[in-house]
Chain A
């Protein structure tokens, strides 16, 4: 804009007056457009919740005794499947990585009723449109002896918690 002003100022006083007006016009325009953009962004900031009221992502699922060795128990409300093999324990997500339906247990692992994705017992995709394996969640043994699942932290498939 400064360049504009300089270039036209050579033409005489009248051009200078016009270009000052034009500069003010540009500043006003930029200010109005900028305010519009800012208020549009602030609307998105407003509707993006800072706190959500959904189910907690970290929760306790009880003592290890509730999951006898060799069982695969789905906790549908938590959307996880607890797998216990001997003294090893793991929590696999039952939310389909395709479009968020809940996968059910099948003979070969997991199957999704919505679009037909299939997974093996470790959650690896064996068929259907699912793009990723079912994630494994971090589980820890709390001091009171209960198992705590943290759905915000994924761990590599096959990483069990040894009891």
Chain B
């Protein structure tokens, strides 16, 4: 303590207190120049997952349709509403259905929370699938993004499993018979099918053990795996060089490129910040401002993300205010509803199962999954990346669209054209 410094008065300490607290949390003021824009992205825990600068192509709504973000935000809504619902839910055959009625009747905001959870779950299945289609149709699974495609396929399967396990929890007729049928399909898997079925149900029929197992899978096991897979998925986006873009999206460098041969020499310059990775990664690094098609994430990317989030939440809120999540009669293990239908995204599967349980439920879906996972390793042509329906990818896109349309037709048949005893009926 030097004598020159005047001792701060209590008053000024109090006045500075809020500012000091604020500055201790947020290292940067709202940015006004590029240096601050980059360090705001860089020093904030939640923003740091993003790059400081992002390619203009990434921000084109017509390119990504925001589907990955929408999936992520729907998952966020599902986690929040799901945790709230857990406060009132009991995974017991004697209580679960009554708790559904309680949510509807006595719990504050119970109806809308359940609606939000249900509609977000349906929309998440759709959004994740459309995201998968977007990535395929823009050729974005190609090198170096092969593994992230595989992670994406796993995320899609986990989304379906989350949905399937959640389906049993209301313990109504729809839940019970859909899960009876679904676990029986698992039983058709070769060699280990019966064991999987027994492990899933914890017994020979769907009952208390099955309800508890599905609950634990739904609220603990699967979310943990899903969150881990999402983290890897996002991390890989950064490590694989951001979102895919066409080869001509980057201008050819016209200015000096300096080859560093004996270790990086950093020239400190207050006009430009250098990422450490740029220096250590390869022999080439840019020293001058090479024109590139990137913009600062703050505010461009963050505002886009905020917009997508607000839109997603708004749609879910409107849906939840307008439509109530269905709840059928309580479980009656003696009388299956006729017809007993799975949720819409499994109706294609159920339709195929009505022809052959093994081929419809295990064989064909298994081939689909294997083909999806192997896609980037089978199609190794580097052409057509970053463009919707690229001419170079006519064959691949045609095959993919054919499969998608075939499955959509199965879903439509299962949804609208199947009546009692699964007989063909006309919806008109």
Q: Which chain B residues lie closer than 8 Å to A49 at the CB level?
A: 202-203, 209
Q: A111 — which chain B residues lie within 8 A by C-beta?
A: 421
How far is A101 from B340 in the complex, measured between Cα atoms in Å?
9
Q: Does B205 lie at the interface of the complex (its beta carbon under 8 Å from any beta carbon of A)?
A: yes
Query: B390 within 8 Å of A by Cβ?
Result: no
Interface residues of B in 110-150 (CB under 8 A from A): none
Residues in chain B near residue A53, CB distance under 8 A: 203, 207-209
Tally the A-B contacts, defined by beta carbons under 8 Å.
82
- Give residues of chain B (203-243) contacting chain A, Cβ–Cβ below 8 Å: 203-205, 207-209, 213
| Chain A: CB-nearest residue to B351 | A115
Instruction: List which A11-25 residues lie within 8 A (CB) of chain B.
Output: none
Chain B residues positioned under 8 Å from A115 (CB to CB) = 350, 353-354, 422
Q: A10 contacts the other chain (Cβ, under 8 Å)?
A: no
Does A77 have its Cβ within 8 Å of any Cβ on chain B?
Answer: yes
B423 within 8 A of A: yes
B302 CB → nearest A CB, Å: 41
**Interface membership of chain B positions 166-190, coded 1 if the CB is closer than 8 angstroms to chain A and 0 otherwise:** 0000000000010011011100000
Task: Give chain B residues whose Cβ lies under 8 Å from the Cβ of A131.
Answer: 357-358
Count A interface residues, CB 8 Å: 24
B203, B421, B423: the one within 8 Å of A54 (CB): B203
Q: Is the interface of A mostly helix, strand, loop or mixed?
A: loop
B336 proximal to A (CB < 8 A): yes
Q: Which of A47, A98, A99, A112 has the most CB of B within 10 A?
A: A99
Closest Cβ of chain B to A125, distance in Å, is: 13
Can you name 20 A-B pairs with beta carbons within 8 Å?
A47-B202, A49-B202, A52-B209, A55-B205, A76-B335, A98-B184, A99-B180, A99-B181, A101-B181, A102-B334, A113-B336, A113-B337, A113-B340, A113-B420, A114-B338, A116-B354, A129-B354, A129-B355, A129-B357, A131-B357
B residues adjacent to A (C-beta < 8 A): 177, 180-181, 183-185, 195, 198-199, 202-205, 207-209, 213, 333-340, 350, 353-358, 420-423
